[in-house]
């Protein structure tokens, strides 16, 4: 049986829209109406805007992905039950429009992030930390994972490879990051994972994703990671510091970070040796109002 944590009947408001993780909402205590005789304005119901629909699609897909990963890795399920459950979940995903709808919603969402888009931030830091070469003789090789578009094409000093499970344009290559390999000596100068780790449902696979960055990033190369802010600022299992400690254990030293209203941006450099340190799932914030986003390394 699949745990009730993933009960699809649970109202969407019980899930954090950005992390897709269950969280208990604080409910306001009931107060008696004031005994004045002024007529109260009737509150109009909020219009269901495109933004709210988009958030709902993103949130639902995160939840379904999480459940899909949980079912796939559940050893206690028989083959038949597993197949039936997987196909049921895949149908649910198709019902909300599948990856296409999710990507379209993400693309529209990115427009709401103002000037702090990932590519703007990445370019700014590469200039600030003098990673950008003085001449364009040798371009820096950049791998953009989970790319909705090739945002780095316009930077002539970058040679960008953009990959995605479900490319939306010809400038993005269809590839699964987990299967993406490079021959020794051809590692990338820069690897960017923007809002991809939180797309993966299984906390162990999220850790595998970070681990795989070690194989793809050159020594002294740079890794950029962007996560929804609540994954770190309001998770029961993760904080900014813990996330940086995980990366440090994989040989990535933090150079800088930035929190916008919705996102957390990080720039790391691969300079350290990998340490055999593990980070199991442990509660770091107590209380009912946190989400369950976690990464296991
Ligand atoms: C929320 S979108 C992020 C898009 C963009 N990077 C951004 O910051 O706006 C997540 C994307 O990651 C892609 N993705 C998820 N897992 C992936 C994997 N294992 N390999 C390649 N792409 C992946 C999804 O297909 C999706 O397009």
pLDDT at 92: 92
The preferred substitution site among 102, 164, 264, 265 for testing ligand 1, maximizing ligand atoms within 8 Å of CB, is 164
In contact, 281 and 294? CB cutoff 8 Å: yes
Is the CB of residue 199 below 6 angstroms from any atom belonging to ligand 1?
A: yes
Minimal CA–CA distance to 169: which of 107, 256, 218? 107
Q: How confident is the model at residue 276 (pLDDT cuts 50, 70, 90)?
A: confident
* Cα three-residue angle 152-155-161, rounded to 5 degrees: 40
Is the pLDDT at 11 greater than 50? The verdict is no
How much is the average pLDDT of 226-246?
97
Separation CA 76–CA 74 (nearest Å) = 5
Return the structure tokens found at 162.
């953009």
Q: What is the average pLDDT across 54-75?
A: 89
DSSP-assigned letter for residue 293: -
Measure CA of the first residue to CA of the last residue in the chain; give whole Å: 26
Atom of ligand 1 nearest to the CA of 192: 6
Instruction: Say if CB 150 and CB 294 are below 8 A apart.
Output: no
Predicted local distance difference test score (pLDDT) of residue 230: 95
Average pLDDT over residues 39-66: 77
* Residue 53 confidence (pLDDT): 81
- For the Cβ of 109 lying below 6 angstroms from any atom of ligand 1, the answer is no
Segment 83-113, tens digit of pLDDT = 999 999 999 999 989 988 888 888 777 655 5
Which positions make up the binding site?
146, 164
The two beta strands, 217-228 and 263-270, are antiparallel
pLDDT at residue 213 above 80? yes
Q: Residue 44: what pLDDT? A: 65
Longest dimension (CA), the chain: 78
Q: For ligand 1, pick from 20, 118, 145, 146 the residue to mutate: most ligand atoms within 8 Å of CB.
A: 146
CATH class of 118-270: alpha beta
Question: Ligand 1 centroid to 27 CA: how many Å?
Answer: 34
**Quick one: tokens of 292?**
């369950």
Residue ranges for the binding site for S-adenosyl-L-methionine?
146, 164
Query: From ligand 1's centre to the CA of 145, what distance in Å?
Result: 6
**For range 207-234, the mean pLDDT:** 96
Position 10 pLDDT exceeds 70: no
Cβ 106 under 6 angstroms from ligand 1 = yes
CA distances from 48 to 53, 100, 170, 174 (A): 7, 21, 33, 34
- The pLDDT of 142-153, averaged and rounded, is 94
| Domain limits, the chain | 7-24+49-111, 118-270
Q: Which residue has the higher pLDDT, 292 or 16?
A: 292
The per-residue pLDDT for 4 is: 33
Taking the centre of ligand 1 as the mean of its atom positions, its distance from the CA of residue 164, in whole angstroms, is: 6
Question: What are the structure tokens assigned to 27, written together?
Answer: 């409910």
Residue 135 has pLDDT above 60, yes or no: yes
| Segment among 11-20, 139-148, 166-175, 200-209 with least mean pLDDT | 11-20
Which residue of 199, 206, 260 sits with most ligand 1 atoms within 8 Å of its CB, as the best mutation to test the pocket?
Answer: 199
Atom of ligand 1 nearest to the CA of 166: 25
Q: How many CA atoms lie within 13 A of 167 on its CB side?
A: 15
- As a whole number, mean pLDDT of residues 156-175 equals 95
pLDDT of amino acid 12: 37
Query: CB count, 10 Å around CB of 90?
Result: 13
pLDDT of residue 21: 66
| Across 24-38, 91-105, 153-167, 199-213, least confident range | 24-38
Average pLDDT of span 212-230:
96
Question: What is d(CA 220, CA 225) in angstroms, rounded to the nearest whole number?
Answer: 16
């Amino acid at each position: 049986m699949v745990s009730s944590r993933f009960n699809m009947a649970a109202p969407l408001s019980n899930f954090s829209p950005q992390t897709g993780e269950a969280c208990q909402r604080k409910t306001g205590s009931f107060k008696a109406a004031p005994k004045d005789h002024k007529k109260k304005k009737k509150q109009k119901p909020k219009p269901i805007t495109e933004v709210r629909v988009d958030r709902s699609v993103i949130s639902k897909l995160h939840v379904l992905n999480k459940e899909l990963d949980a079912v796939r890795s559940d050893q206690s399920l028989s083959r038949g039950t597993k197949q039936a459950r997987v196909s049921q979940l895949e149908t649910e995903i198709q019902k909300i429009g599948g990856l296409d709808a999710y990507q379209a919603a993400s693309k529209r969402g990115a427009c709401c992030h103002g000037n702090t888009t990932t590519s703007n931030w990445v370019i700014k830091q590469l200039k600030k930390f003098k990673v950008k070469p003085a001449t364009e003789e040798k371009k820096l090789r950049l791998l953009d994972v989970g790319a909705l578009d090739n945002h780095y094409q316009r930077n002539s000093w970058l040679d960008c490879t953009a990959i995605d499970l479900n490319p939306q344009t010809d400038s993005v290559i269809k590839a699964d990051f987990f299967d993406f390999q490079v021959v020794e000596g051809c590692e990338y100068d820069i690897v960017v994972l923007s809002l991809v780790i939180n797309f993966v449902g299984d906390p162990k696979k999220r850790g595998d994703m970070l681990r795989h960055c070690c194989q793809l990033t050159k020594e002294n190369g740079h890794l950029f990671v962007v996560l929804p802010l609540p994954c770190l600022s309001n998770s029961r299992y993760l904080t900014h510091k813990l996330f940086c400690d995980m990366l440090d254990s994989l040989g990535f030293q933090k150079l800088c970070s930035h929190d916008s209203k919705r996102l957390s941006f990080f720039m790391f450099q691969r300079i350290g040796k990998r340490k055999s340190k593990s980070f199991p799932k442990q509660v770091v914030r107590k209380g009912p109002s946190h989400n369950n986003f976690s990464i296991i390394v």
